[in-house]
Amino acid sequence: MRLHASIVFGAAICLATLLLLYQLVSLPPDNNIAIPNQSYNALENRLKRLEQDISANHDTVQEIHGLLKKIGGTGNNSPVLHPRMKPVDAILAPQASDDAGPVFNTSVARLLPDDCNFSQAPASSVDILMENVYKSLPFDNPDGGAWKQGWEVTYESTQWSPERLLRIFVVPHSHNDPGWIKTFERYYQDQTSHILDNMARKLPEDPRRKFIWAEISFFSMWWHRQTPSVQDTVRGLLSRGQLEIVSGGWVMPDESGSHYWAIIDQLVTGHEWLREHLNVRPNNGWAIDPFGLSPTMAYILKRSGFDNMLIQRSHYALKKHLAASTNLEFRWRQAWDPDSSTDILCHMMPFYSYDVPHTCGPDPKVCCQFDFKRLPGSRVTCPWRVAPQPITQHNVQDRSALLLDQYRKKSQLYRTNVLLVPLGDDFRYDTAEEWDNQFLNYQLLFDHMNARSDNHVQAQFGTLADYFQALREESRTSQQQQGNAVAAGEEDEEALFPSLAGDFFTYADKDDNYWSGYFTSRPYYKARSRLLAHKIRAAEILFNLAVGSSGATDPAIPHNIAEQLHLELTEAHKALGLFQHHDGITGTAKDHVVLDYANKLLDGIHHSEHVTQFAAHSLIAPKSDQQSAEMVFFEVSEVHEGASVVSVPRVLHLGEPGRGAVILYNSHPHTYRGLATVRIDSPYIKVVNGSGRQVKCQVDPVFDGLQQGELFDVRFPVELKPLSLSRFVITRKEQPDLKFVTYATVIVKNEELPTLPTVFSVQSYSTDMPLVMQCGGSAAVSIGDNGLLESVTSDGVTYPLLLQFVSYRARETRETSGAYLFLPKGEAEVLVNEAPPTKVVSGPLHAILTTKLPLLTHTLSIANSPGLDSEGLTVRNLVNVRRERNFELAMRLVSDIDSQDTFYTDLNGFQMVRRIRESKLTLQGNYYPVASQAFIQDSTKRLTLLTGQPHGGSSLASGQIEVMQDRRLMQDDFRGVEQGVTDNVVTPNVFRILLERRLPGLDSSSGGARVMFPSLLAERSLHELLFPTVMLHHTYKASGLLQSWSVGSGTEVPCDVQLVSLRSIRGGVGGGAAAGAAAALTLRRGGIDCSFPPPRVDCATNGGKVQLNDILGGAFNEEVRQSTLSHLYAGVNITKSFTLTLQPMELYTFLLSPSPRSPIQGKR
Ligand SMILES: [Zn+2]
């Protein structure tokens, strides 16, 4: 029985092929084993010889592997290419026992040749390409004197005249972190509420006073606690331009690990609040503290309607370089932009910090004397030991001359006579005294400077808007003076400034202090952020489809309940938004603040799941009796036991009445094909799909602590329509049904045989030969003695691909690794694992390797399915470094790809950037954010690592990619958090590894293309990784449930187009008051590299042509309005049947209103 079960589909089902064969021929005869072919006898002899030869090499294994393929029914069938995928049901028809198991067809996506041009064409030329700047700079860090990282700045006073005044805008600001040393709420209580209280009192005292504010999370909290008269005062300040909201996002987000989805989400949350309560539209970005800066942010601001932005924390050597060429103000352009449509005017601050000592001019010792919070007697002092003096009649002349000198020097670093001087710091202006000290003293200085006509200066308080307006005026004037006569109103206000493409990672603030540690710090919570984004996206799409597909008189969800669900989604958005803060997802807050974020994230997950289950029920039970929002009809198939605990699959208890139905929800506008996995409590089952047909499945035992032999995973192939719900029913049976169910084979090495029901074949592996794991037509993976991947064999070719775990030790000096900084002692050491406990569970559809290592449990799985999950390898590392000290763990892939010093990492899941490994940058300077993928390539192949969560990573040698898994550091690294990172928790890190062969003659890297794009397979696989199919377990006994539900016409959306989000809006341009009264649909067309043929992507590109009808079907009104990304500005009116042409790499947002009729359709 034991082995019989494993060969029901023939011996070549998904299993450890070579190993099983070995077992077949070596087990004693009384085990009643069927030898399928006489050829085995010859192999047996060879295997015996191999057994004696413990150094059996890969070539021999491969040769045997090749022979096995030729033996009928035992080999890995090469993928059979068919133009179209067969329906899954046809594939799942019962098959003869000598069949090689399910072989799923692979289809190649039909790529329109024109759609490949984008990735092949050179991008538009730019004046400054950061990649070239990196190549040219020595990064030698000479001492610059007073401006330590720059040079001694000088100027000629004659450059100013009565006609050419130096126009100085001093911009008072207060940087408020929504969580860092204290929690968000604690900061509000202790500091922020006082800052805003005083703002409302002290700004109106003098109309010349100005102030800017960025974080709407704080501002909205304060606003709702104010009296109508205070609110009126603030409205007046805003309308008079004394107060400006800059950026206006929920937070000032991190730009390294945050996904573009979440960056946009927090921006919409902030902007929606501003629209609804203040009717304010921010126009200027303000990012003074994020630790490195991404062009993705520039793109998002540009497409949200912003004209200008400001950034601060870039590498000191880059600041110096750009300052030396007066290029600190530039038109930031997307590297992939074929023209200049993405340009946004960007001001980079020149010095070390955004505090007062580093913003008035190059000499911090002087500038600190003009921070009047540090007046003698204050708790805050100047580290340069010269204190500020209160400005009086007696000293104003000297003091203003000293300050003006700094202003003039700073102005030499920019092209115009308009100068920006931020005046503020963290949590500043919290007392009336501080307001008075700063504003009164500065006004005296300004008045004096301005009164002396030979100064040729006009100094004043200003907002960021004031500054950029003056800057643009000056640019226009300068163009006219240079004789660039242009017609009135057609001046190019930005023509004075160079264009720049590239990013500002990895940030260093001094010496070799690269901030590449925070790319990985607290990885558990980074992953949690991705999970919440997925949960919100899925919930909101379903909720809005439910509300949008029914009319006001016939609501799918009763209005009062919809209102409550909408509030739950709002809470989830706020939790996700808060965590995108640059001390949230970065992992740079204190332990108790991290836990506070974690609890908020978990609440957001629960809220989102609640909305999903309710919306699903409303769609699949149209005549439902939904009486209150608290009703639970379905449970999401994951259990979240705590804010810092790894989520586990929910068990479907088949013995309980009413149980057994699962709903699969596809939230994408493409057909989903792949394996579904359900955790069950009985191995004897049948699975029936929505058409009432029994489907073939694989049952695996679960090895999870004490539950061994009691829990099982059933896996079955599914095909889910775009934007649909599909019902499957799993029923317990008394006997195993071997016609439809295959029980996995379990092979253990270096551990005891488990006790399992007899349907499972259990074997011990005791040779030194590599384990080979394979599934049907999938690639075969070879596992070494250390329990880790050694090579991948695909279509008869073996590619070496070593997976290693390596460790870094922190430097044993005062300056060493901490929450922010990565300062390793040296190169990493490869961790050696001798004879680790290893287990392979395999069957016709799926195989998984589990290796237990001292610091992690590593799993590697492959699938034989009709979907993308059968391409490439899935890795999950359950990491636990809690016993280590000053230790960082990384996973490294080592291949034979001739990538030399070049690798590619993504920014925000939005775009790829070429990185060149440079020894002048140090090891930690070569670490970059890997928000969602990295790849290396040569003329024939590409290795892509997709990541389910953000990491720091690099390629430290040709052919390698590595990503940090977790870091445990015992000390502070002096960047303010005043603690190490020692609160590590067990962390699940998930990856997909894709090895793709390039089409001959299509080397995108040699064609002059400056920008690289993911392959279509990588693009689609990443979307499945980050936004997977949602599974719901039915808990509620109800009749009349539909078998399935779907929206849309059934037309496939082009395969390079993604549904980013479908978000409820209230305050947007098309918004109304009621929940779900309007929704915003955001689509994105990816940029793809066509030189890699995309197997199993059964779709086509068509030049980005989309009708919203294809996605939405009858849901929502026919009238649609385009809008900016955060819904601040409306664009053209179109209809749902209008054919849109989406450009590669661009995001598009459309405002929808609900349909007057109810088009809910389903299949009973
Ligand atoms: Zn900050």
Q: What tens digit of pLDDT does each residue of 504-517 get?
A: 999 999 999 999 99
CB 836 within 8 A of CB 853: yes
Is a pLDDT exceeding 70 seen at residue 706? no
What's the mean pLDDT in 1057-1067? Answer: 88
- When mean pLDDT is compared across 47-56, 95-104, 374-383, the lowest value belongs to 47-56
Measured in Å, residue 878 CA sits from the centre of ligand 1 at 31
Is a pLDDT exceeding 80 seen at residue 489? no
Q: How far apart are CA 681 and CA 794, in angstroms?
A: 36
CA 259, 583, 231: angle at the middle one, nearest 5? 95
Paired tokens of 839: 């287990």
Task: Tell me the pLDDT tens digit for each residue of 722-732.
Answer: 999 999 999 99
pTM of the model: 0.91
pLDDT of residue 1052: 86
pLDDT of residue 486: 54
**Where does residue 909 fall: left (phi above 0), alpha (psi -120 to 50 degrees), or beta otherwise?**
left
DSSP for 808-830, written as a single string: EEB-SSSS---SS---BSSSPEE
pLDDT of residue 1099: 83
Measured in Å, residue 576 CA sits from the centre of ligand 1 at 17
Paired tokens of 618: 């409303």
Confidence of residue 1077 (pLDDT cuts 50, 70, 90): low
As a whole-number percent, the residues of the chain with pLDDT over 70 amount to 86
pLDDT of residue 82: 23
Measured in Å, residue 581 CA sits from the centre of ligand 1 at 8
CB 648 within 8 A of CB 639: yes
Q: Which residue has the higher pLDDT, 1164 or 905?
A: 905
Confidence of residue 31 (pLDDT cuts 50, 70, 90): very low
Question: Which helix (H) or strand (E) segment is 673 a member of?
Answer: strand 672-680
What's the mean pLDDT in 678-704? Answer: 94
CB 5 within 8 A of CB 67: no
Is a pLDDT exceeding 60 seen at residue 1069? no
**Where does residue 93 fall: left (phi above 0), alpha (psi -120 to 50 degrees), or beta otherwise?**
beta
- When mean pLDDT is compared across 123-127, 929-933, 993-997, the lowest value belongs to 123-127
Q: What's the chain's Rg over C-alpha atoms?
A: 31
Measured in Å, residue 288 CA sits from the centre of ligand 1 at 8
What's the mean pLDDT in 7-22? Answer: 35
What's the mean pLDDT in 18-29? Answer: 32
Measured in Å, residue 426 CA sits from the centre of ligand 1 at 7
pLDDT of residue 986: 98
Measured in Å, residue 196 CA sits from the centre of ligand 1 at 17
Is a pLDDT exceeding 80 seen at residue 1039? no
Confidence of residue 1 (pLDDT cuts 50, 70, 90): very low
Confidence of residue 659 (pLDDT cuts 50, 70, 90): confident
Measured in Å, residue 582 CA sits from the centre of ligand 1 at 6
Instruction: State which residues have CB under 5 angstroms from ligand 1, the bound ion.
Output: 177, 289
pLDDT of residue 1160: 41
pLDDT of residue 107: 58
Per mean pLDDT, which of 16-20, 864-868, 1044-1048 is the most reliable? 864-868
Measured in Å, residue 831 CA sits from the centre of ligand 1 at 37
Task: Tell me the pLDDT tens digit for each residue of 337-349.
Answer: 999 999 999 999 9
DSSP category for residue 907: E
Measured in Å, residue 806 CA sits from the centre of ligand 1 at 32
**Is 289 assigned a catalytic role?**
yes
pLDDT of residue 796: 87
Measured in Å, residue 177 CA sits from the centre of ligand 1 at 5
Is a pLDDT exceeding 80 seen at residue 11? no
pLDDT of residue 17: 38
Q: How far apart are CA 110 and CA 44, in angstroms?
A: 45
CB 818 within 8 A of CB 833: no
State whether residue 50 is helix, strand or coil.
helix
pLDDT of residue 1094: 78
Measured in Å, residue 172 CA sits from the centre of ligand 1 at 16
Task: Tell me the pLDDT tens digit for each residue of 940-971.
Answer: 999 999 999 999 999 999 999 999 999 999 99
pLDDT of residue 1005: 56
Mean pLDDT of the chain: 87
pLDDT of residue 989: 98
pLDDT of residue 1007: 52
Measured in Å, residue 191 CA sits from the centre of ligand 1 at 14
Measured in Å, residue 187 CA sits from the centre of ligand 1 at 12
What's the mean pLDDT in 1141-1163? Answer: 76
Q: Which residue has the higher pLDDT, 189 or 91?
A: 189
Contacts of 93 by beta carbon, 8 Å cutoff, 6+ apart? none
Task: Tell me the pLDDT tens digit for each residue of 894-909.
Answer: 999 999 999 999 999 9
Q: Which residue has the higher pLDDT, 442 or 1163?
A: 442
Q: Which of 177, 289, 371, 503 is catalytic?
A: 289
Total Cβ atoms within 10 A of residue 69: 17
Measured in Å, residue 414 CA sits from the centre of ligand 1 at 26
Q: How far apart are CA 849 and CA 65, in angstroms?
A: 19
Confidence of residue 369 (pLDDT cuts 50, 70, 90): very high
pLDDT of residue 8: 28
Is a pLDDT exceeding 70 seen at residue 417? yes
Confidence of residue 626 (pLDDT cuts 50, 70, 90): confident
Confidence of residue 6 (pLDDT cuts 50, 70, 90): very low
Q: How far apart are CA 744 and CA 841, in angstroms?
A: 6
Is a pLDDT exceeding 50 seen at residue 1068? no
Ordered domains of the chain (ranges, CATH): 2-119 (no CATH), 165-480 (3.20.110.10), 745-1026 (2.70.98.30), 1057-1163 (2.60.40.1360)
Is a pLDDT exceeding 50 seen at residue 584? yes
What's the mean pLDDT in 474-502? Answer: 79
Is a pLDDT exceeding 60 seen at residue 817? yes
Q: How far apart are CA 901 and CA 897, in angstroms?
A: 11
Confidence of residue 115 (pLDDT cuts 50, 70, 90): confident
Paired tokens of 994: 């894709």
pLDDT of residue 491: 61
DSSP for 409-452, written as a single string: HHHTTSSSSEEEEEEEEET---SHHHHHHHHHHHHHHHHHHHH-
Measured in Å, residue 1064 CA sits from the centre of ligand 1 at 30
Is a pLDDT exceeding 60 seen at residue 975? yes
What's the mean pLDDT in 190-195? Answer: 98
Please report where in the chains the tokens 């191999």 appear, as a residue.
50
Evaluate the omega torsion of the peptide bond into residue 416 and state whether it is cis, within 30 degrees of 0: no
Beta strands 887-895; 797-809: pairing state: antiparallel
Per mean pLDDT, which of 1-5, 32-36, 373-377, 655-659 is the most reliable? 373-377
CB 939 within 8 A of CB 1003: yes
Q: How far apart are CA 301 and CA 216, in angstroms?
A: 16
